[in-house]
Structure 1
Amino acid sequence: MKTASKQQKLTFYERLATALVNDIERERNVEESEEIDEIELFPADDDDCDVDYVPNEDDASDIENEVIIEPNDLVDSDEEFTESETQNLCTSTSEECFYGKDGTKWEKNEPNTGVRIRQHNVMRFRSGPKERNSVPIEVFKKFFTPDIAFIIITETNRYGKDSIQKWNASNPGRKKKVWKDVTESELDAFIGILLAAGVSHNNTQKSEVLWRTDGLPIFRAAMSHKRFLLLTRYIRFDDGRTRPFRLQSDKAAPIRDIWNYMNENLAKNYSPYENITIDEQLFPYRGKTKFTQYIPSKPAKYGIKIWWACDSKTKYPLQGKLYTGRQEGNERETNQGENVMLQLAKSYSNSGRTIIADNFFTTLEGAKRLTKIGLAFVVTIRSNKRCIPEEMRKHPSRPVLSSRFGFNDNLVSICSYVPKKK
């Protein structure tokens, strides 16, 4: 599957935004009803927002002083070594081995196992989209499924009605307001507006600008500006009645169900090629959440951190894991990067694929565990790890462009390379 050009992507999203808006435009045979125009944007109870929350600085996973670690060729598990072959795998002389500070032993020479080598990274699966489709709205509906739409429509209408009823009860002398239910076509139009704003590079403009008569007609065709503001204020993605209980164990409870559905749909509609990249993304966001992160090394600095497993060839997002920080009352997580990598990789066990990751995710034990579940890997590892031999670290005496190799347990190989100075 060829990666689409930038112009092709713009055309796709422009067509998608138009298709999403078309349904609601056909339904609008008359102007917005007066009862809707009278609904004002008034504050509602939002006790789920932590107004005193200040993001903490988070460790960035910048690559620095690294060595590359790779899997050795895997040996068939049903073949055993003879005693003499076992002795050949590991020698006791320091001249033939490197040692890490923790005693980890690295052979200088690749072990001669004397057995048949199994090819561990041969793909036997069809890769790419599960179904070919070029119609934008149909592609969109593969991911934004009726399950997701049902949650958003149901909870938005519930929250809107409850808020209107509370306002009417507290303002008995004023004209009663009425909530008009959001429909599926109106939700599509709302999303179409957001997409159109992004495609036209107007997503940072004030919304009033988009509805001006000299602006793009798609915004005015979709819905009135007042209705758009109303939906923006009241849109919800979970049942607010049970949220306080769920927040006790999950800071991302307000979006967790939607997020899980999206992950399922991403995996269901695509089979990755041979290489899978695992890395982090800081999605720019300065809103009030309980898990907004501050990472000064990132361009956006503030945002929501997501760990992604992506197809290295097409950049397709296969699975995402939200980072919500430590839950109150829980102990600090150890080997966080390793745990994340294994969680994101386990869906592809015994598939012959290769995991690619940077030093934040890498430990020697984690690399071995990937090998044992039938995955190859090419990762970097910080040179200050205790398992890394001193000979593999940066040293002035090492010539430029030189390389050193080490082999551990016939599972992992390591390469330390001295690049040219920039």
Structure 2
Amino acid sequence: MWTQTDSTSDNESDIVAEDIDLDSQVPRPVTSNVVSESESDNRSENDSDYSFTSEDNMPLVRQFIDDGYMQILVTETYKYATQTNVPVWKPTTIDEMYVSVAVILLQSIVNKPTYQMYWTKRAKLATSIFREVLPFKRFVNLKKNLHFSDNATNNAESHPQPKLNKVWPIESYLSAKFRNSCVPERDVTIDESLLLYKGQQGWIQYLLLKRARFGIKTFMLCESQTGYVLSLIIYVGKGTTFEEEYKDLPMLSQTVMTLMQPLLNMGYCLTLDNYYSSPQLADFLLTKSTDMYGTVRPTRKEMSPSFRTKKLKKGEVAAFQ
């Protein structure tokens, strides 16, 4: 059954002994404490009611950010540092990489205008944990050389996603983790998320109805009940790659089928908004033993002609079978 509503889509070394010289400050990038548009909806309206304890959450974090993930960072950072002949470079370790990533995450919670201020010893400005876990100069050196892929072996012609070559090992690793760490319930959904980004990239999207407005768009397949991300596709414009067997379908249908590929022929039920849905897609999913429901735009192909002229008021619904 097809349903039309008037709703619209959302597509839219050594610890520094002296005080840091605050007169020679290194500005923090504006994206240092950026978060995804898809924030948790389960938090209480009162922030004091939301608690984060390491005992409860660290096993979950380590399910994804594990030693294998950190080994990629350690290996590729070492390669980049040797390729660029960084002076006085000391190879890093998995444990040190954990600490440096933790420092970056903590900096998004403890906000200061410059990096140096995190390591200052001035009583009114000091946050001692940063000096205790990692020296300032070592942190700067690690962050400057942090890398996720090998520049020497990158080949745009053979790479599965050339525009994402800088982050591809990490994206592939996490995507596999997402798929293998959870068996979803029957109901799943697909929607877009926008990661705030205002740098120079050819595929930056502007979506008025999203919280970030400007950023990198990601198509995500999620479990409906929990919001758990099962798989994702980073949209890079014309170069976005989908499963080859769906190349004859429209782009949005290719997106849906590529995301749903691991769940096809297993009896799942997919919910879509009118940005993705169409009779053609619904029929194709049925051949894969997958149900689909949601709203649909009256101008989609194979829609009943009466839907094109039907005027609905707010809250009204029209359907045909």
Could you state the TM-score of these two structures normalised by the residue count of structure 1?
0.56
| Matched residue type, 2:214 | Y
What is the letter of the counterpart of residue 194 of structure 1? I
Distance 2:114 2:51 in 1: 21
Match of 1:404 in 2: 318
How far the C-alpha of 1:244 sits from its partner, in A, is 4.3
Instruction: Report what 1:253 is aligned to.
Output: 165
Q: Is 1:376 matched up with 2:288? A: no
1:314 to partner: Cα distance: 1.0
1:337 maps to: 252
Q: What residue in structure 2 maps to residue 37 of structure 1?
A: none
Which residue number in structure 2 is paired with residue 242 of structure 1?
Answer: 153
The alpha-carbon deviation at position 283 of structure 1 amounts to 0.6
SS of aligned partner of 1:319? strand
- Pairwise mapping of residues 203-352 of structure 1 onto structure 2 (< 5 A)? 205-213=113-121, 214-245=125-156, 250-289=162-201, 291-327=203-239, 335-352=250-267
**Pairing 1:148–2:148 present:** no
The answer to whether the aligner puts 1:194 opposite 2:104 as a matched pair is: yes
Q: Partners in 2 of 1:4 and 1:301 — Cα distance?
A: 22
Structure 1 residues 335 and 399: alpha-carbon distance in aligned structure 2, compared to 1, 3 A threshold: closer
Instruction: Say whether the 8 Å CA contact 1:13–1:196 is kept in structure 2.
Output: no
RMSD: 3.4
Q: Specify whether residues 249 and 262 from structure 1 end up closer, same or farther in structure 2 by C-alpha distance, changes over 3 A only.
A: closer
Shift of 1:161: 2.4
Return the alpha-carbon distance in structure 1 between the equivalents of residues 153 and 208 of structure 2.
35
For the residue of structure 2 that corresponds to 1:147, the secondary structure is: helix
- Report the secondary structure of 2:239's partner residue: coil
Write out per-residue CA displacement over residues 212-244 of structure 1, whole angstroms, 9 at most, x where no aligned residue.
443443322221223222222110001110124
Aligned with 2:238: secondary structure? coil
1:185: Cα distance to partner? 0.8
> Cα–Cα, structure 1 residues 305 and 208, in superposed 2: closer, same or farther, change >3 Å?
same
Q: Decide which moves more: 236-245 or 296-305.
A: 296-305
In the alignment, the residues of structure 2 paired with residue 164 and residue 336 of structure 1 have an alpha-carbon distance, to the nearest angstrom, of 44
Amino acid at match of 1:265: K
Partner residue in 1 for 2:5: none
In terms of mean alpha carbon deviation, does 201-210 or 371-380 score higher?
201-210
Deviation at 1:394, TM superposition (A): 6.0
Task: Give aligned pairs, total.
Answer: 270
CA distance in 1, matches of 2:201, 2:215: 10
The code of the aligned residue for 1:209 comes to M
- Partner residue in 2 for 1:415: none
Residues 275 and 312, structure 1, Cα contact 8 Å, conserved in 2: yes
> How far apart in 1 are the matches of 2:248 and 2:51?
40
The alignment partner of 1:270 has SS state of coil
Q: Secondary structure at the match of 1:382?
A: coil
Residue aligning to 1:162: 83
Choose from 253, 267, 275 the match for 1:360. Answer: 275
What amino acid sits opposite 1:233 in the alignment? K
Q: 2:24 aligns to what?
A: none
The Cα of 1:326 is off from its aligned counterpart by 1.3
Is the 8 Å Cα contact of residues 43 and 50 (structure 2) preserved in structure 1?
Answer: no
User: In the alignment, which residue of structure 1 is the partner of 2:306?
Assistant: 391
Q: 1:182 to 1:210 in 2, by over 3 A?
A: same
State the alpha-carbon separation in 2 of the partners of residues 400 and 160 from structure 1. Answer: 60
3-state DSSP of counterpart to 1:179 = coil
Quick check: 2:221–2:230 contact (8 Å CA) kept in 1? yes
Equivalent in 184, 192, 195 of residue 94 of structure 2:
184
CA contact (8 A) 2:277 2:295 kept: yes
Name which of structure 1's ranges 215-224 and 280-289 shifts more when overlaid on structure 2. 215-224
1-structure distance, mates of 2:222, 2:140 = 34
Mapping for residues 55-66 of structure 1, pairs under 5 Å: none
Unaligned runs of 5+ residues in structure 2 are: 1-40, 241-246
Question: TM-score of the superposition, structure 2-length normalised?
Answer: 0.72
- When Rg is computed on C-alpha atoms for both structures, the one with the higher figure is 1
| Alignment of structure 1 residues 45-194 onto 2, 5 Å | 138-164=59-85, 177-194=87-104
Q: CA deviation at 1:11?
A: 10
- Please tell me whether the aligned partners of residues 193 and 218 of structure 1 are also in contact (alpha carbons under 8 angstroms): no
How far the C-alpha of 1:10 sits from its partner, in A, is 9.5
Counterpart for residue 118 of structure 1 = none
> How far has the Cα of 1:354 moved from its partner?
1.4
Q: Read off the aligned partner of 1:314 and give its amino acid letter.
A: T
- Give, in angstroms, the shift of residue 308 of structure 1: 0.4
- Separation in 1, partners of 2:315, 2:100: 55
The alpha carbon displacement at 1:403 in A equals 4.0
1:293 partner letter: Q
